[in-house]
Amino acid sequence: MRFLSVWFLLAMIPAVALAEVPEVPQVPNHQEIPDLPFRPLPKQVPIPKDNPQTDAKIDLGRELYFDPRLSFTGKVSCNSCHHLDQGGEDGQAVSVGALGKAGRRSAPTLWNVGFETAYFWDGRANSIEDVVKEHVLDETVMAIPAYPTLTGRLQSITAYRERFAAAFGHEKVAIDDVAKALASFVRTLVTPDSPFDRYLQGDQASLSEEAVKGYALFNEKGCAACHFWTLLAGPVPGLSFKPGQPFYELFPTVRGTPWEERLDILADEGAYDWTGREDYRHMWRVPTLRNIELTAPYFHNGSVKTLPEAVQVMSETQFGIELSEDEIAAIVDFLKTQTGVRPAMTPPEPLR
Ligand code: HEC
Ligand code: HEC
């Protein structure tokens, strides 16, 4: 019974938000929805058929990930903005790329990103491989002028030539192979065994009383209408959504709150920017809440510094309700149970 209101909201919200949008599927129909809208995080992400995991690719991907030579100036590596010692992001409101130029969005965590079906805050990329290829040329990220600048640079390093040959069977370094190796490594970044996962698997003691209260509020108030399933990010994976299909929601859903101006929420138009579709204006992919306590600041523009404030903003902008301080504190306690076990990450020795 407790979840009834959640499923009611779940049925209502996307139906309003996504009316007349053929490419993005509606939330799965009710036959498919199990009683409990959450799933423990699997230990492995789904692997695309055109880029099977191999040790050689993963090892090469790890080298590339930590290597600042992937950026034009040699100053920035993937790890500079998606710091694996920390929450898989950079702790900045918006990230600053190789040329010292800031982008307009906050770096998302890469922990568990392989469970997503579409990438970036606005869902514009279909695969991690596509993200890498966009990032390489983006002047606010790696700022490489053209792919041959990067592939030529890697080709000139003997140990890279050998690693690429081992992973792909040919010595010529191709940008698609750079993207494949990096994506293979990124797909290993999984943080299972959070207290919430253990709770879902039957270990009642893994959540404190306060966190259980927060879990109930999270469901009753309707947060779970958007933040559910494996990533607390909507019906992915395993519930109808396929690669390339983002689960979008409006942010803000309730218009006219003071947060709009205070956080400058409307400046970035979200999925409208790349689709040009009126009905996608201010639509955003529902982000994961896994490891959320590690990934401040929050929201696409990093405008909120603390988790309690992010919860307050969500309740006011998504339902127009004000939560009490106690309710916010309980929900925050619940959100802290989303922190999983991160494998240790030691940057490898640079290849010569
Ligand atoms: C200068 C900072 C910066 C660097 C360096 C950087 N990224 Fe990103 N990354 C970002 C930002 C910012 C976004 C979100 C952009 C957006 O949503 O429009 C992002 C998004 C992503 C995403 C999508 C995440 C999601 O939740 O959908 C992946 C995957 C990713 N980056 C991987 C990488 C890899 C691999 C590298 C190294 C080749 C890298 N990034 C280097 C800043 C950076
Ligand atoms: C109508 C769908 C919807 C509902 C309901 C909703 N959220 Fe969200 N949530 C989103 C979207 C979309 C974003 C991304 C907003 C952005 O930054 O563009 C988001 C972002 C967040 C973030 C920040 C994530 C990050 O990485 O920065 C937190 C934390 C969060 N929500 C928690 C909650 C809580 C707690 C509730 C209930 C009080 C809730 N949400 C209700 C859709 C929703």
Tens digit of pLDDT for each residue in 224-243? Answer: 989 999 999 987 655 667 78
Ligand located closest to 291 CA: 2
Q: How far apart are CA 88 and CA 83, in angstroms?
A: 5
Asked whether 240 lines ligand 2 (CB < 6 A), one says: no
Q: How many residues does the structure list for the chain?
A: 352
Q: pLDDT tier at 149 (50, 70, 90 boundaries)? A: very high
Mutational pocket test of ligand 2: of 89, 223, 305, the residue with most ligand atoms within 8 Å of the beta carbon:
223
- The mean pLDDT value for 178-186 works out to 98
Domain 4-43+192-336 matches domain 55-186 at the CATH topology level: yes
Topology, domain 55-186: Cytochrome Bc1 Complex; Chain D, domain 2 (1.10.760)
| Distances, alpha carbon 316 to alpha carbons 39, 159, 257, in Å | 27, 54, 7
Tens digit of pLDDT for each residue in 265-321? Answer: 999 999 999 999 999 999 999 999 999 999 999 999 999 999 999 999 999 999 999
Q: Could you give the percent of the chain with pLDDT greater than 70?
A: 88
Tokens of 231: 């990533």
Residue 134 CA, ligand 1 centroid: distance in Å: 9
Identify whether the C-beta of residue 296 lies closer than 8 Å to the C-beta of residue 271.
no
Topology, domain 4-43+192-336: Cytochrome Bc1 Complex; Chain D, domain 2 (1.10.760)
Asked whether 195 lines ligand 1 (CB < 6 A), one says: no
In this structure, the residue with its CA closest to atom 29 of ligand 1 is 128
Q: How far apart are CA 230 and CA 235, in angstroms?
A: 8
Tens digit of pLDDT for each residue in 239-258? Answer: 667 788 888 999 999 999 99
Asked whether 105 lines ligand 2 (CB < 6 A), one says: no
Residue 175 CA, ligand 1 centroid: distance in Å: 17
Count of C-beta atoms within a 10 Å radius of residue 51: 19
Write down the domain spans for the chain: 4-43+192-336, 55-186
Asked whether 332 lines ligand 2 (CB < 6 A), one says: no
**Closest alpha carbon to 266 in 283, 278, 279:** 283
Tens digit of pLDDT for each residue in 329-340? Answer: 999 999 999 999
pLDDT at 142: 98
Residue 56 CA, ligand 2 centroid: distance in Å: 38
Asked whether 286 lines ligand 1 (CB < 6 A), one says: no
Q: Considering the entire predicted model, what is its pTM?
A: 0.92
